[in-house]
Amino acid sequence: MRELRRKIVAGRDLNKPFITLCSGTACHATGSDAVAAAIQEELEKQGLTEQVGVRRTGCHGFCERGPILVIYPEEICYLGVTPEDVPEIVSETIKGKRIIERLLYAEPSTGERSVHEQDIPFYKHQTRLVFKGNLWIDPTKIEDYLALGGYKALAKVLEEKTPEEVLEEVKRANLRGRGGGGFPAGRKWETTRNAAGEPKYVIVNCDEGDPGAYMDRSIMEGNPHRVLEGLTIGAYAIGSHQGFVYVRQEYPIAIANLGVAIEQAKEYGFLGENILGSGFNFDVKVHRGAGAFVSGESSALMNAIEGKVGEPRPKYIHTSESGVWDKPSNLNNVETWANVPLIIAKGADWFNSIGTEGSKGTKIFSLVGTVNNTGLVEVPMGTTLREIIYKIGGGIRGGKRFKSVQTGGPSGGIIPEQFLDTPVDFDELTRLGSMMGSGGMIVIDEETCIVDLARYFVDFLCDESCGKCVPCREGLRRMREILEGVVAGRGKEGDIEMLEEIGEVMKKASLCALGTTAANPVLSTLRYFRDEYEAHIAEKRCPALFCKDLISYYIEPEKCVACLLCLKNCPEGAISGGKKKVHVIDQSKCVKCGICFDVCPPKVRAVKKISGVPVPPPVPEAEREIERRKVRSGGERRR
Amino acid sequence: MGKTNLKTELETGLERVEEIIEGYKERGEEGFLIQLLLDIQSEFNWIPREAIARISERLRVPKSKIYRVASFYEAMSLTPAGRHTVQVCLGTACQVRGAPKILDRLEERLRIKEGETTLDRRFSLRRVNCLGCCAMGPVVVVDGNYHGKITPAMVAGILEKYA
Ligand SMILES: Cc1cc2nc3c(=O)[nH]c(=O)nc-3n(C[C@H](O)[C@H](O)[C@H](O)COP(=O)(O)O)c2cc1C
């Protein structure tokens, strides 16, 4: 094993230039394939294919600025690379060793440029442990993982430790599940280990149903061996010889890379019979999930593995004792498993030195929404929301005001501004009426309506509820009905109290955690933004100017410069006007698509959203002529 | 398309279904119904009635059970899709970046609701719960091509690209 690694490392010339290109799903979407093809072509053209290595890695996490290209050994990091940039990169940077300023990161406030990935504020304030390999590894090459010390932890376990010792180490590390509940992994492992019944199963949950979260996918795509290594170590501790990885089929790259990884691990003897000559056997199968949020719940997931409809089972039967085919089955989240090799390699004491009293280690968040730097962020537990959103995330987009941050996905809640200095860990977030969940962190600015957001989550859950138990099925439906009424201006007195009452019942009486947590988005928004609900109900006003039925678009006659832009773009022909003639929106034709608002030049800003007050009557025909105001094209006239 | 043509299409289709079923039976794995249906979905872009009948016959599983699985999952469709599939991401990140307006615009433009197919079978419109490229939000994917940072005004132009 050591010999193998030495050979792999020795076989690599560290001074040889090579290029890594981020090829996770997000960069895939922004054109990383085309960039890769351009690199290949250019290297061939310049006769450099022998001298320069190219490696397509998994997600680097800074998705806002992808595709990300890093040139080694200097570690020069270029962002937002397009195929057109490639010839210049090859001749200037690779051959000429000169930096192309324009492709470097520039700090928005100062314009200061950063050459290396780790100097960019987005990365600088992170602690990347689990996610580290993603920057460097080609996920389809096990050698890359081995060169970084991969499978060392597994070898150590099989050579030096008994299953009991491994279990003890993980228990001592206080590793808590990263998939939602934060349940101590070691304790769960122990239950399955001690449960009666053979065979025992170990399972990876990569269903990642939380809309707005994609860290599990990025680990699975970018570093599948790390998950497999963790799983195999767990299997050894628990006494399992069969593992399953449940991946949603919407993640084709993850499924493909995982498949390759399993094959390679078998070839190298890290999976299969008699692993590394230890006599321990372990095999892994991949199961594709078919897209149902509730199937990510542990007992539902096990039903799905059996080929049944992915509905939860009653909770008094613990899956750790009776799971897949009624055998003891231990399920953990992708990120939980990915932490295991680290704990074994560096020890429980090291792991305990990171994080807070109750939550150890790091957590990866998917920082999205109306934040400047969308991406994946790994920080020690206990980092404050402010640090994450402002230092790493770069604050709110478009100079808007921060309103709140939503964590925990559809089971979580909303956290307003006054708690921005809260250290993020399992217990603190729960205390605020939200939860850690799987790590989704959605930043919301002043233009998002809180009531509509609650409606959005309830609507999502209503569709995703399996319908087996009444409190969840009917409770969600009633909540949706009420919330749809409120955002449409049909809210009435008593609605808020009714929402609270339904929420409390669902919390107590639902079958699985989907139902018991489903009211969280409603209850937590009521807790912090009750006034917004009240404005919708009592004044028929949407304070965020978002809810379609409660707002109107209106053109301020004094500001309109008659540039014709909104008129031409209105898909419904609802705007009248002409050259030198103030434009007016016919409210009866307007479908409130907001295009007029978007296209009105920023310097003019004549189109306004109004809510809670009647639309002023249109200007009389006689006064619509714009005479003495000078109209220049594009409407650059007056404020 | 003539009648005979349709018939041979159905037959070759069913042969493919047969192959997929055999593939799983050979491996002798338990609990593969979901995996099998997913393969059929990706082969035909929907799950035809004839395929369900055939699976039921060959696996000795009641049709009702197959329908139950196929209707439960988001990824399986029991109606045929249009030539182009338009997916609108309504994950939370896209939601707070204005995706609802994009969906409205698409529905108005195509004169269908999400989940439906236009009468001329040109477009099917589907909403999805997060494609995980939140930095590009709001996102619309047409036939696997990603269109990011969409505004309502861009919708018409995107649709025009797909005849
Ligand atoms: C409705 C529902 C959906 C869930 N979805 C996921 C998911 O997508 N991924 C995940 O890891 N856990 C999910 N969970 C949590 C799992 O039930 C389970 O607690 C977790 O996978 C255990 O792993 P952990 O202890 O490592 O966190 C979900 C739970 C519920 C109630």
Rounded CA-CA distance A79/A62 in Å is 9
Query: How far is it, in rounded angstroms, from Cα A264 to Cα A262?
Result: 5
- Is position B78 within any domain? no
For ligand 1, atom 12: residue with the closest CA: A179
| CB proximity list for B32: less than 8 A, separation 6 or greater | A307, B24
Q: Are strands A402-407 and A440-445 parallel, antiparallel or unpaired?
A: antiparallel
d(CA B111, CA A311): 35
Looking up tokens 């289709």, which residue turns up?
B13
In angstroms, the CA A155 to CA A585 distance is 72
Tell me the DSSP string of A139-177. TT-HHHHHHTTTTHHHHHHHHH--HHHHHHHHHHTT-B-
What does the pLDDT look like over A408-423, one tens digit per residue? 999 999 999 999 999 9
CA angle A70, A72, A78 (to 5 degrees): 20
**Could you confirm whether domain A142-352 is CATH 2.30.30.100?**
no
Q: Does B79 fall in a domain? A: no
Residues B34 and B94 in one domain: no
- CATH assignment of the domain containing B124: 3.40.30.10
Q: Which of A245, A298, A343, A510 should be mutated for ligand 1, with most atoms under 8 A from CB?
A: A298
Per-residue confidence (pLDDT) for residue A17, from 0 to 100: 87
CA A385 to each of CA A362, A391, A425: distance values in angstroms, whole numbers, following the listed order:
14, 10, 10
Residue after which a domain boundary falls, among B52, B72, B92: B72
DSSP assignment, residue A11? T
User: What's the DSSP call for residue A130?
Assistant: S
The whole-chain average pLDDT of chain B stands at 87
Give the integer Cα–Cα distance in Å for A101 and A124.
20
Instruction: Answer yes or no: are the C-beta atoms of A240 and A188 closer than 8 Å.
Output: no
Please report, for residues A16, A23, A103, A593, the alpha-carbon distance to residue A88 in angstroms, rounded to integers and kept in the order given.
19, 21, 11, 42
Reported as a single tens digit per residue, the pLDDT across B81-109 is 889 999 999 999 999 999 999 999 999 99
Residue A609's DSSP bridge partners are: A553
Report the separation in Å between the CA atom of A246 and the middle of ligand 1, taken as the mean of its atom positions: 11
- Phi-psi category of residue B44: left, alpha or beta, with phi > 0 → left and psi -120 to 50 → alpha: alpha
Q: Choose which residue among A206, A217, A245, A333 to substitute to test ligand 1 binding: the one with the highest number of ligand atoms within 8 A of its C-beta.
A: A333
Residue whose pair of structure tokens reads 């709140």 in the numeric block: A404
State which amino acid sits at residue A402: F
Residue B116 located in a structural domain:
yes
> Is position B9 within any domain?
yes
A548-638 in CATH: which number?
Answer: 3.30.70.20
How far, rounded to the nearest angstrom, does the alpha carbon of residue A387 sit from its chain's CA centroid? 18
- Note whether A213 contacts B: Cβ–Cβ < 8 A: yes
Q: Indicate if the alpha-carbon torsion angle A185, A191, A192, A193 is positive or negative.
A: positive
Distance CA A186, CA A175 (A): 7
Predicted pLDDT at A527: 95
Decide if A137 contacts A22 (C-beta within 8 A): no
A372: which chain B residues are within 8 Å (Cβ-Cβ)?
none
Any A CB within 8 A of B32 CB: yes
Residues B54 and B91 in one domain: no
Residue A38 reports pLDDT greater than 80: yes
For residue A577, give the H/E element and its range: strand A575-578
CA A453 to chain centre: 17
Binning pLDDT at 50, 70 and 90, where does residue A146 land?
very high
Q: What proportions of chain A, in percent to the nearest 5, are helix, strand and coil?
A: 45, 15, 40
- How confident is the model over A487-510, as pLDDT tens digits? 999 999 999 999 999 999 999 999
Q: If residue A403 lies in a helix (H) or strand (E), which one and from where to where?
A: strand A402-407
How high is the pLDDT of residue A639? 38
Where are chain A's structural domains? 2-124, 142-352, 362-445, 450-538, 548-638
Beta strand residue intervals within A196-298, DSSP E = 201-206, 242-248, 283-289
Per the structure, the count of domains in chain B is: 2
Q: Which CATH architecture has domain A362-445?
A: Roll (3.10)
CA atoms within a 13 Å half-sphere pointing along the CA-CB vector of A355: 24
Would you call A369 and B92 a contact, using CB atoms and an 8 Å cutoff?
Answer: yes
Pair of tokens at residue A504: 């409390």
> Is residue B67 domain-shared with residue B98, that is, in the same domain?
no
Phi, psi angles (nearest 5°) of residue B128: -125, 150
**A324 Cα: distance to centroid of ligand 1 (angstroms):** 16
Judging contacts by C-beta atoms under 8 Å, the chain A residues touching residue B133 are 25-26, 29-30, 63, 214
A-proximal residues of B, 82-121, CB under 8 Å: 90-93, 95-97, 101, 104-105, 108-109
Task: Supply angle C-alpha A136, A137, A138, rounded to 5.
Answer: 130
Domain around B16: 3-72
Residues of B in contact with A460 (CB under 8 A): 129
Using one digit for the tens of pLDDT, what is the confidence trace for A224-259? 999 999 999 999 999 999 999 999 888 889 999 999
Assembly ipTM = 0.85
Residue A439: closest CA among A394, A483, A408:
A408
- Give the amino acid at A145: Y
Give the pLDDT score at A638.
41
The answer to whether the CB atoms of B152 and A595 lie below 8 A apart is: yes
Q: Does the A450-538 domain belong in CATH 3.10.20.90?
A: no
Please name which of A177, A344, A320 lies closest in space to residue A239, comparing C-alpha atoms. Answer: A320
Question: What mean pLDDT do residues A115-127 have?
Answer: 93
- A484 is written with which tokens? 């749809």
**Domain at A2-124: CATH code:** 3.40.30.10
In chain B, the residue whose alpha carbon lies closest to the alpha carbon of A305 is B31
**Taking the model in full, what pTM does it have?**
0.90
Out of B72, B92, B116, a domain closes at B72
Residues of A in Cβ contact (< 8 Å) with B91:
211-212
Q: What is the pLDDT of residues A525-556, one digit of tens each?
A: 999 999 999 999 999 999 999 999 999 999 99
Q: Are B92 and B156 members of one domain?
A: yes
Q: Are residues B94 and B154 in the same domain?
A: yes
Instruction: Give the bridge partners for A72, in sequence order.
Output: A18
* CB of A294 sitting under 6 A from ligand 1: yes
d(CA A327, CA A319) in angstroms, rounded, equals 8
> Does ligand 1 come within 6 angstroms of the Cβ of A335?
no
**Which residue among A171, A201, A205, A510 is best mutated to probe the pocket of ligand 1, counting the most ligand atoms within 8 A of its Cβ?**
A205
pLDDT band at B157 (very low <50, low <70, confident <90, very high): very high
Sign of the dihedral defined by the CA atoms of residues A71, A76, A82, A87, in that order: negative
Query: Has residue A1 got a pLDDT over 60?
Result: yes
* Residues of chain A above pLDDT 90, percent: 80
Looking at the structure, tell me whether residues B93 and B52 fall in a common domain.
no
Do the first three CATH levels of A450-538 and A548-638 match, i.e. the same topology? no
Give the separation between CA A298 and CA A624, rounded to whole angstroms: 65
- ∠ CA A263-A265-A266, nearest 5°, is 65
Q: Which residues in chain A (492-511) have CB-CB distances under 8 A to chain B? A: none
What is the pLDDT, as a whole number, of residue A161? 96
CA angle B148, B149, B155 (to 5 degrees): 80
Look at the alpha carbons of A418, A422, A425, A431 in this order and tell me if their dihedral is positive or negative: negative
In this prediction, residue A626 carries a pLDDT of: 80
Residue A4 has pLDDT above 80, yes or no: no
Q: What is the mean pLDDT of the segment spanning A73-81? A: 93
Q: Tell me which amino acid residue A373 is.
A: N
Q: Is B160 at the interface with chain A, CB within 8 A? A: no
Residue B77 inside a domain? The answer is no
- B34, B90, B135 member nearest A307 (Cβ): B34
SS3 A61: coil
Q: Please indicate, yes or no, if residue B43 is contained in any of the structural domains.
A: yes
Cα A205 to ligand 1 centroid, rounded to whole Å: 7
Q: Are residues B98 and B146 in the same domain?
A: yes
**Collapsing DSSP states into helix, strand and coil, what is residue B75?**
coil
Counting atoms of ligand 1 from 1, which one is nearest the CA of A299? Answer: 17
Residue A298 CA to ligand 1 center (angstroms) comes to 6
Q: Supply the DSSP symbol for A50.
A: T
* Position A3 confidence tier, pLDDT thresholds 50, 70, 90: confident
Q: Which of residues 539-578 of A touch B (CB under 8 A)?
A: 548, 569, 571
Does any domain span residue B90? yes
Asked whether residue B7 falls in the same domain as residue B67, the answer is yes
Does the structure show a pLDDT above 90 at A484?
yes
3-state secondary structure of A196: coil
pLDDT at residue B29, as a whole number: 59
Nearest chain B residue to A568 by CA: give it.
B153
The residues near A385 (Cβ < 8 Å, ≥ 6 apart) are: A405, A415, A419, A420, A421, A422, A424
The two tokens of residue A74 are 């200097």
Q: Cβ atoms within 10 A of the Cβ of B81, count?
A: 16
